[in-house]
Amino acid sequence: TQLLEQSPQFLSIQEGENLTVYCNSSSVFSSLQWYRQEPGEGPVLLVTVVTGGEVKKLKRLTFQFGDARKDSSLHITAAQPGDTGLYLCAGDYNQGGKLIFGQGTELSVKP
Amino acid sequence: KAGVTQTPRYLIKTRGQQVTLSCSPISGHRSVSWYQQTPGQGLQFLFEYFSETQRNKGNFPGRFSGRQFSNSRSEMNVSTLELGDSALYLCASSSGGGRGNTEAFFGQGTRLTVV
């Protein structure tokens, strides 16, 4: 059974601070996706990483995929209140459309 | 390009009843997956359909079932509802399986409350 451990579970920071969210598994991913979800809405896809060692940037968000494709991180630089939300990582273990989700990181950025 | 559409958005049902949720995927996408999201368990995979065939199934009781039609629209049914079935049910659409092809695009979800 694949498990995806995401940390931290909760994060409350001030505007302008940096933060990193981690996603780890004992199994190798085919690919990994990061989502952001707001209350009462569905998750919105931020990025997909496929190649070990890959780094992708989306404005102030930087996503890294571990060399062994077992872990990933999301780094936010100079967080803003608009970044507030639930961040989810989801691993694809090449099981034909099934994603395994981490428990999520509830981020609160205070002005 | 229209996104994933789930209906209804909200639903209140009584224990013992059954419910059917609907999902229309992004045009051209052949894979539809269903997830249950609760505060305690997070997002849990229910099942996935690809070209009208159930390709994958999660660890949920047989009361949870689904199907996919030839136009890729999907329905999910829950029979004999229990209080613990109260959750946000999410449908995700993707182009299909294969490495890097499981990018899932979610609908807004159906909030089911069982009383």
The CA distance from A58 to A14, in Å, is 21
Backbone φ and ψ of B84, nearest 5°: -70, -5
pLDDT the model gives residue A96:
67
The per-residue pLDDT for range B78-88, each reduced to its tens digit, is: 999 999 999 99
| Contact call for residues B16 and B10 (beta carbons, < 8 A) | no
Task: Measure the CA–CA gap between B92 and B90, rounded to whole angstroms.
Answer: 7
Q: What does the alpha-carbon distance between residue B74 and residue A29 come to, in Å, rounded to a whole number?
A: 27
Alpha helices per DSSP H over A1-111: none
The Cα–Cα gap between A2 and A27 comes to: 7
pLDDT at B14: 98
Partners of residue A45 in chain B, C-beta under 8 Å: 103-106
Length reported for chain B: 115
**pLDDT of B98 strictly over 60:** no
Task: Residue B74: count other Cβ atoms within 10 Å of its Cβ.
Answer: 25
pLDDT at residue A93 in the model: 79
- pLDDT tens by residue, B61-78: 999 999 999 999 999 999
A·B CB contacts under 8 A: 81
How confident is the model at residue A2, as a pLDDT? 66
Tokens 């359909």 sit on residue: B49
Q: From chain A, which residues contact B within 8 Å (Cβ)?
A: 30-31, 33, 35, 40-45, 48, 50, 88, 90, 92, 94-104
Segment A72-81 mean pLDDT = 97
Cα–Cα distance for residue pair A79/A87, rounded to 1 Å = 14
Of the residues A92, A95, A105, the best mutation for testing chain B's interface (the one with the most B CB atoms within 10 Å of its CB) is A92
Predicted confidence at residue A98, as pLDDT, reads 85
Read off the pLDDT of residues B1-50 as tens digits, 9 standing for 90 and up: 579 999 999 999 999 999 999 999 999 999 999 999 999 889 999 999 99
Confidence of residue B97 (pLDDT cuts 50, 70, 90): low
Q: Give the CA distances from residue B49 to residues B29, B66, B92, B93, B94, in Å, rounded to whole numbers and listed in that order.
A: 11, 8, 10, 10, 10
Report the pLDDT averaged over residues A48-72.
Answer: 95
pLDDT recorded at residue B63: 98
Distance from CA of B39 to the nearest CA of A (A): 9
pLDDT of residue B38: 94
Cα separation of B97 and B31, whole Å?
8
- Work out the angle at residue A99's Cα, subtended by the Cα atoms of residues A98 and A105, and round it to the nearest 5 degrees: 160
Report the distance separating Cα A46 and Cα B31, nearest Å: 20
